[in-house]
Amino acid sequence: MNKRTDEEGRPIRAVAMMSGGLDSTLAAVHIARMGIEVHGVRFSTGFSPVAGLLKAGKDRPPPLAEGGESDPRALKVGTGVEISFRLIDISTDFIRDVLTSPRYGLGQEMNPCIDCHIFMLRRTRPVMEEVGAHFVFTGEVLSQRPMSQNKQALNIVEEQSGLKGLLLRPLSARHLDPTIPEERGWVDRNELLNIRGRSRKTQIELADRYGISDYPQPAGGCLLTDPVFSKRLKELIDHTADEEKLTPEDMNLLKVGRHFRLPSGIKVVVGRNDAENRYLEGLNLERWSLQVMDHGSPITLVDTSADDDDLNTAAALTARYSQGWEEKEVRVILIRKETEREISVEPLQPGEANSWMI
């Protein structure tokens, strides 16, 4: 394919916001097939689902350092099309600057979609300048999501992101006002698409045409759209005096296990299977870790501020979900940093802790 150049003869470059879904992949391929040099960027907020990872029996991969950025990598996104992209961890800043106080409100659950898009696109601007890109584009489809992909929301995102006129949505561009890339001939508006609405028929046809076969099926989005996760998150925020102290590790803990809030206010998380136990063990937390001895047992994590009464209750709760739940008494080991203790407790009976479950 012929490489497009601008008025000064420079190769036209664009930064693609890539979520890993079909729409952003299609947008990247479509723009690349126009002869435009595409540089992908994907942001990690820490709210990607972990179900597939756990079902595969794998431990959680180590997180990037705060504000960290992975090495650039190549992504094969279609027949004969390969795009370089980088992964940037924004989880800590996202919690502080977006999650706890979204300017444009929440969706049906705890999803601050408009603020999230603005936040990510603001972080894209430095990448655009670094690689000498002419514009940024996304895989957004007009009217696909009622809150964040209506015309008003798309306009707000463009205005507030600092990319006025430089933000292209190639899949729905012909339903939207022309952008600077179209007006200056960097892209041909006639080659852009007019997809609209929730149907995926056109996208699937395009994927077949472009040789894209490995893409996820449509879902509700990130974990912030999940009712169970959102309930846990709201409960955590309600019980956190200083929201600025919430961390990505706190968010990771919400993803797995049975969650309980003891009458004292102490949080207890009990693993449900081997994969979740490994996940809980892999979290870099300073909480108490509890496990029943001599029987198959879940891993239980307990807040560091727990007193002896709380730890005894958490131990009995751990025993309730262990293979020793019918015993009169079991031994439980409690570990925190260099401290290790052993106590004996009577397992809680089924139903005793239902009122504590989140």
Q: What is the pLDDT of residue 276?
A: 94
The Cα–Cα gap between 106 and 232 comes to 16
Q: What is the pLDDT of residue 56?
A: 42
The Cα–Cα gap between 37 and 6 comes to 12
The Cα–Cα gap between 324 and 294 comes to 8
184 Cβ partners below 8 Å, 6+ apart?
6, 7
Q: Model pTM?
A: 0.87
Q: What is the pLDDT of residue 203?
A: 95
Q: What is the pLDDT of residue 77?
A: 58
CATH of domain 13-210: 3.40.50.620
Q: What is the pLDDT of residue 73?
A: 52
Tokens 């693609």 locate to: 16
Mean pLDDT for back-to-back runs of 10 residues, the chain (358 residues): 89 93 92 94 85 47 47 55 84 94 93 96 96 97 90 97 97 98 97 95 93 72 90 96 90 94 97 94 86 97 96 98 97 95 96 94
The Cα–Cα gap between 296 and 35 comes to 59
Q: Which two tokens stand for residue 306?
A: 């727990």
> Residue ranges per domain, the chain?
13-210, 256-356
